[in-house]
Amino acid sequence: MKLQPQSYLAEHTVRSWLLTHDHKRIGILYLLTIIVFFAIASVAAALMRIELVTPQGDLVTSETYNKLFTIHGVLMVWFFLIPSIPAVLGNFILPMMLGARDVAFPRLNLLSWYIFIAGGVLALWSLIHGGVDTGWTFYTPYSSTYSNSHVISMAAGVFVAGFSSIITGMNFMVTVHKMRAPGLRWFRLPLLVWSLYATSLIMVLATPVLAITLALMSVERVWGVGIFDPKIGGDPVLFQHLFWFYSHPAVYIMILPGMGVVSELITCFSRRRIFGYGYVAAASMAIAVLGFVVWGHHMFVAGQSVYSGMMFSILSYMVSIPSAIKVFNWTATLHKGSISFATPMLYALGFIGLFTIGGLTGLFLAALAVDVHVTDTYFVVAHFHYIMVGGMVMAFMGGLHYWWPKITGRMYPEFAGKLAAMITFIGFNLTFFPQFILGYLGMPRRYHAYPPEFQFFHILSTAGASILGVGYLLPFLYFLWSLKWGRVASGNPWEATGLEWQTPSPPPTHNFEKTPVVTREPYAYDAVTGKEEPQEGLMQQTSAV
Amino acid sequence: MSDEIISPRIYFKNFGALIVLLLLTIGAAYLDLGPLNFVLAMLISLTKTALIALFFMHIRWGGKMLHLAAGAGLLWLGILLALTLGDYISRGWLPVAQH
Amino acid sequence: MDSATDTVLAEQFDEIEQQHSADTLGMWIFLATEVMFFGGLFAGYAVYRFSFPHVFYAASHHLDVLAGAIDTAVLLCSSLTMAFAVRAVRLGQRWMSILLLGVTAVFGAGFLVIHGFEYHHEWTEHLVPGGSFAFEGADPHRAQMFFWLYFATTGLHSLHVLIGVALMLVLAVLVLLEKITAARFMTVEIAGLYWHFVDVVWVFLFPLYYLAGAR
């Protein structure tokens, strides 16, 4: 009898986890870590929403409120969203999608997790000692001169965590270039691989600029003079240039992987090939590259030159083209598909709707004159939450459900899953749609008190947030439940295409017993039956019979 | 990455060229060329970079991907410098903004 | 495949060529991130030199061109010995490798010593930005910006040199202990790429800071 290779989960010692080189285990380490940061940042959000139920600042002082939105922003952006799909799902799935045994540099992969932990500890240290009140953007001169909070330790935390994302990006790029299975040509890659490659490009080229910028800001804070200091001819707007050179592309770190996941989900649950594969793949790369030349739209009212503003406005419009291509192609893929509304599909459909709203309101903000009206209002807050939460978090949840059987070997409970997806969708819209109206009516962001006429919308928003909270808590509970009591999953419970489904669930340590050979494009769902098309070689065999 | 071992002559020639370029850039700095001083200095530095990358860093014998990776670094630095400077250069263009 | 390369090949790779090209590509991608890391400082230089060029020329005049030229020459020499060190490792010349790695480290340390003297000189001349800054020129406030950028950029560069020197010493010890042999030359090749990169950065810093106001 042939010996079955051991599942990657077989070893149970703490040592086997903390010293693992296995990309799948490292993905799980990241998952556990980001859940902690998500929870802390969510508590901050909940406190803010509760404060905003009444127009008076009666729950927290303005100073505490400033610290709440800062910690919410810093943790959600750098310690949850940026590692969410790339470092968790990407780490787990990418090598399997390529038919590889592991990433190119497994030891560096583990190192990236430890660096991430170190960054997280610094950020938490800052939080415990009183937090930071600058907002997640750390604008100078407030951060470098005037703020009396723990700016440096928080910036150091972000600086350190940045290197973990650089290492992940570098590792993914080399893995995609060098570790593809025989026959897996570039245009046979699953679209998640394309989007993770594009994401890695941004991580590698943008993150170091953030690192040096935060370092310069911190040196200025310690030394008393610095590069952004007007006393010696410096310009605080330069900080904004450098900060947004990273942070705008970082928005694409927070949406591109989500787009990749959605491409996987849409094809699988409508049993169809993706419409216009080449366009969707190229759109990922176009978004990554164009994302680097639009940062000035965050600075329309910051004192940047008008001509610069016009150019950044036009360039920002251009990014909407590849984004729209993706939305059209997903919709066209759904057309005439045999659609099943499993939980991951509900999240994917939710993603398309919410991302479209977020993207279109982004165009409002890219228009110079409209932006002057809504800058620093709740309109902006609603817009980027539609992208980052409505887009990325929905995609992350969808992907987590989709690959959960692969990761754990167990199915999640389907009914509870659908319920949670619905609750999340409703709660999200109730939370953030009223904020568009609030912002348009003139409610500025980052205030703990406000005129009474805005109260109605704030109450709607807080009510929505509590529903959203339930929507996130529910999966947490049933995922835990499923680990012990969930139905045992087969190797390919969704009858999906893709190399990751050709291994057992959970996969053995080196993923494949034998390196697979790829002979055709991805998403080869038969147009009539919706089943996976038989492989070329096999087809010849049957016709011979 | 190459599989052949590179001959010492190439390294020595490369080193010689780099030293000549160093002397050249110092000499050029003492000439009064106006704005061309800066342009010339940067051109010499770029040439030195190319020599170091091609021969010492073996990129001449490396694949297309290495050229792309090395080029990407420079291209993205160019994006950062060009679009940031674009703001500062055009700030004075609008007369009302002078106040 | 002989047994020597067998142990060198990591389990995630199929062939040694695949592993070598992955290592090289990974390092080049890392160097691209290093370019962008220094990029923030270059952007600062570009913006402020554009905004007040004459202050920059006047301030640059206070740096010692000869010292800068010697710095450059020392680093170019170290790049040459580094290139030969990689070659020696590939040829399996153990003692030659150790010697060349050691000489490279000595050049690197020499660079740091010369630069240390320069910093000391600038300190005594009150050219360090902050309370004790003193500058006889048209615009002493904005002259501080030149020196701030100079100290930040060369400081970051010197930190890279320091890391490089430590790296060379570690490699020399590993060659001595035969942990690095001809089959494992890739470790030295990768470290070499880093070393040459640090040299390239200086190739730009020298004209931007020392030569801007040479006339």
Write the DSSP assignment of A260-276 as a string of letters. Answer: HHHHHHHHHHHT-PPTT
The pLDDT value recorded for residue A544 is 36
Partners of B71 on chain A (C-beta within 8 Å) are none
Report CA-CA distances (Å) from B41 to A14, A34, A447, B35, C51. 57, 48, 51, 10, 20
Report CA-CA distances (Å) from A379 to A88, A214, A303, A465, C187. 31, 27, 21, 17, 52
The verdict on a CB contact (< 8 Å) between A225 and C148 is: yes
Contact C17/A at CB under 8 A:
no
- CA–CA separation, A96 and A189 (whole Å): 12
The verdict on a CB contact (< 8 Å) between B86 and A308 is: yes
The verdict on a CB contact (< 8 Å) between B84 and A305 is: no
Q: Are residues B30 and B51 in the same domain?
A: yes
The pLDDT value recorded for residue A537 is 44
Domain assignment of residue C34, yes or no = yes
> Which tokens belong to A357?
């709203």
SS3 of chain C: the string is CCHHHHHHCCCCCCCHHHHHHHHHHHHHHHHHHHHHHHHHHHHHHHHHHHHCHHHHHHHHCCCCHHHHHHHHHHHHHHHHHHHHHHHHHHCCCHHHHHHHHHHHHHHHHHHHHHHHHHHHHHHHCCCCCCCCCCCCCCCHHHHHHHHHHHHHHHHHHHHHHHHHHHHHHHHHHHHHCCCCCHHHCHHHHHHHHHHHHHHHHHHHHHHHHHCCCCC
Residues constituting chain C: 215
- CA–CA separation, A117 and A228 (whole Å): 30
Contact A530/C at CB under 8 A:
no
Q: Let me know: does A272 contact A526? Beta carbons within 8 Å.
A: no
Over its length of 215 residues, how does chain C's per-residue pLDDT go in tens digits? 344 455 789 989 999 999 999 999 999 999 999 999 999 999 999 999 999 999 999 999 999 999 999 999 999 999 999 999 999 999 999 999 999 999 999 999 999 999 999 999 999 999 999 888 988 877 888 999 999 999 999 999 999 999 999 999 999 999 999 999 999 999 999 999 999 999 999 999 999 999 998 87
Domain assignment of residue C153, yes or no = yes
Q: Are residues B56 and B33 in the same domain?
A: yes
Domain hosting C84: range is 14-210
Report CA-CA distances (Å) from C72 to A45, A374, C76, C100, C210. 53, 52, 6, 19, 11
Residue C81's contacts (CB-CB under 8 Å, 6 or more residues apart) are C100, C103, C104, C107
Identify which of A254, A248, A350 has the alpha carbon closest to the alpha carbon of residue A289: A248
Contact B92/C at CB under 8 A:
no
- Other CB atoms within 10 A of residue C182 CB: 14
- CA–CA separation, A244 and A252 (whole Å): 12
Domain assignment of residue C9, yes or no = no
Question: How close A519 comes to chain B (CA, Å)?
Answer: 25
The verdict on a CB contact (< 8 Å) between C69 and B69 is: no
Which of B65, B72, B91 lies at the smallest CB-CB distance from A305?
B91
The pLDDT value recorded for residue C130 is 86
Identify which of C155, C147, C171, C158 has the alpha carbon closest to the alpha carbon of residue C74: C158
The CATH number given to whatever domain includes residue C59 is 1.20.120.80
Q: Which of residues 140-199 of A touch B (CB under 8 A)?
A: 177
Q: Are residues B76 and B40 in the same domain?
A: no
Q: Are residues B39 and B87 in the same domain?
A: no
Half-sphere exposure of A405 (CA within 13 A, CB side): 23
The pLDDT value recorded for residue A506 is 93
Partners of A232 on chain C (C-beta within 8 Å) are 129, 141-142, 144-145, 148
Domain assignment of residue C7, yes or no = no
Q: Is A217 helix (H, G, I), strand (E, B) or coil?
A: helix
The verdict on a CB contact (< 8 Å) between B87 and A304 is: yes
Helix axes A256-270, A306-334, angle to 10 degrees: 20
The verdict on a CB contact (< 8 Å) between B94 and A308 is: no
Partners of C33 on chain B (C-beta within 8 Å) are 73
Partners of B93 on chain A (C-beta within 8 Å) are 305, 307
Which of B65, B94, B97 lies at the smallest CB-CB distance from A177?
B65
Q: Is A407 helix (H, G, I), strand (E, B) or coil?
A: helix
Partners of A211 on chain C (C-beta within 8 Å) are 37
- CA–CA separation, A281 and A288 (whole Å): 11
Q: Are residues B86 and B46 in the same domain?
A: no
Residue A324's contacts (CB-CB under 8 Å, 6 or more residues apart) are A359
Partners of B53 on chain C (C-beta within 8 Å) are 196, 200
Q: Are residues B10 and B50 in the same domain?
A: yes
Identify which of A187, A173, A200 has the alpha carbon closest to the alpha carbon of residue A85: A200
Query: How many domains are there within chain B?
Result: 2
Q: What is the CA radius of gyration of chain B?
A: 19
Question: How close B73 comes to chain A (CA, Å)?
Answer: 7
> Which tokens belong to A2?
């042939």
| A interface test, pick of B65, B68, B79, B87 with most A CB neighbours within 10 Å | B87
- CA–CA separation, A239 and A20 (whole Å): 39
Query: How many domains are there within chain C?
Result: 1
- CA–CA separation, C99 and C85 (whole Å): 8
Categorise residue A391: left if φ over 0, alpha if ψ from -120 to 50, beta otherwise: alpha
Report CA-CA distances (Å) from A246 to A291, B73, C7. 10, 15, 41
Question: How close C132 comes to chain B (CA, Å)?
Answer: 30
Over its length of 545 residues, how does chain A's per-residue pLDDT go in tens digits? 455 678 999 988 999 999 999 999 999 999 999 999 999 999 999 999 999 999 999 999 999 999 999 999 999 999 999 999 999 999 999 999 999 999 999 999 999 999 999 999 999 999 999 999 999 999 999 999 999 999 999 999 999 999 999 999 999 999 999 999 999 999 999 999 999 999 999 999 999 999 999 999 999 999 999 999 999 999 999 999 999 999 999 999 999 999 999 999 999 999 999 999 999 999 999 999 999 999 999 999 999 999 999 999 999 999 999 999 999 999 999 998 999 999 999 999 999 999 999 999 999 999 999 999 999 999 999 999 999 999 999 999 999 999 999 999 999 999 999 999 999 999 999 999 999 999 999 999 999 999 999 999 999 999 999 999 999 999 999 999 999 999 999 999 999 999 999 999 999 999 998 899 998 889 998 777 777 776 654 443 333 33
Q: Let me know: does A174 contact A105? Beta carbons within 8 Å.
A: yes
The pLDDT value recorded for residue A517 is 93
Partners of C48 on chain A (C-beta within 8 Å) are 233-234
Q: Are residues B19 and B58 in the same domain?
A: yes
- CA–CA separation, A18 and A24 (whole Å): 13
Contact C51/B at CB under 8 A:
yes
At A324, the amino acid letter reads A
Q: Are residues B36 and B8 in the same domain?
A: yes
Q: Are residues B74 and B97 in the same domain?
A: yes
Helix axes A151-178, A106-128, angle to 10 degrees: 160
B34 CB burial (10 A radius; 0-12, 13-18, 19+): exposed
> Which tokens belong to A102?
């592991």
Q: Is A419 helix (H, G, I), strand (E, B) or coil?
A: helix
Q: Let me know: does A295 contact A323? Beta carbons within 8 Å.
A: no
- CA–CA separation, A380 and A7 (whole Å): 46
Q: E strand or H helix at A381, and its extent?
A: helix A378-387
Q: Are residues B56 and B87 in the same domain?
A: no
Residue A377 β-bridge partners:
A444
Smallest CA–CA distance from A220 into chain C, residue: C148
Q: Are residues B17 and B37 in the same domain?
A: yes
- CA–CA separation, A527 and A535 (whole Å): 15
The verdict on a CB contact (< 8 Å) between B93 and A242 is: no
C49 CB burial (10 A radius; 0-12, 13-18, 19+): buried
Touching subunits for chain A (3+ Cβ pairs under 8 A):
B, C
Q: Let me know: does C135 contact C127? Beta carbons within 8 Å.
A: yes
| C interface test, pick of A174, A177, A205, A245 with most C CB neighbours within 10 Å | A174
Contact A182/C at CB under 8 A:
no
Place of tokens 């941004």: A202
Which of C65, C84, C204 lies at the smallest CB-CB distance from B45?
C204
Contact A305/B at CB under 8 A:
yes
The verdict on a CB contact (< 8 Å) between C44 and A227 is: yes
Smallest CA–CA distance from C34 into chain A, residue: A208
Q: E strand or H helix at A50, and its extent?
A: helix A23-51
The verdict on a CB contact (< 8 Å) between C25 and B66 is: yes
Place of tokens 């599942």: A7
Contact B93/C at CB under 8 A:
no
- Other CB atoms within 10 A of residue B16 CB: 11
The verdict on a CB contact (< 8 Å) between A307 and B76 is: no
Residue C90's contacts (CB-CB under 8 Å, 6 or more residues apart) are B5, C182, C185
| A interface test, pick of C14, C27, C29, C56 with most A CB neighbours within 10 Å | C29
Q: Which of residues 48-87 of B touch C (CB under 8 A)?
A: 48-49, 52-53, 55-58, 62-63, 65-66, 69-70, 72-74, 76-77, 80-81, 84-85
Contact C14/A at CB under 8 A:
yes
Domain hosting B20: range is 1-62
How many beta-carbon pairs below 8 A join chains B and C? Answer: 128
Q: Are residues B17 and B34 in the same domain?
A: yes
Which of A212, A225, A235 lies at the smallest CB-CB distance from C129?
A225
Residues constituting chain B: 99
- CA–CA separation, A359 and A442 (whole Å): 21
Smallest CA–CA distance from A289 into chain B, residue: B76
The pLDDT value recorded for residue B34 is 85
Identify which of A141, A138, A131, A126 has the alpha carbon closest to the alpha carbon of residue A220: A141
The verdict on a CB contact (< 8 Å) between B29 and C87 is: no
Contact C53/B at CB under 8 A:
no
> Which tokens belong to A96?
């399997």
Which of A213, A224, A227 lies at the smallest CB-CB distance from C130?
A224
Q: What is the CA radius of gyration of chain A?
A: 23
Q: Let me know: does A446 contact A488? Beta carbons within 8 Å.
A: no
The pLDDT value recorded for residue B3 is 57
| Domains of chain A: residue spans and CATH | 23-537 (1.20.210.10)
The verdict on a CB contact (< 8 Å) between C141 and A232 is: yes
Partners of A8 on chain C (C-beta within 8 Å) are none
At C140, the amino acid letter reads P
Domain assignment of residue C4, yes or no = no
The pLDDT value recorded for residue A538 is 42
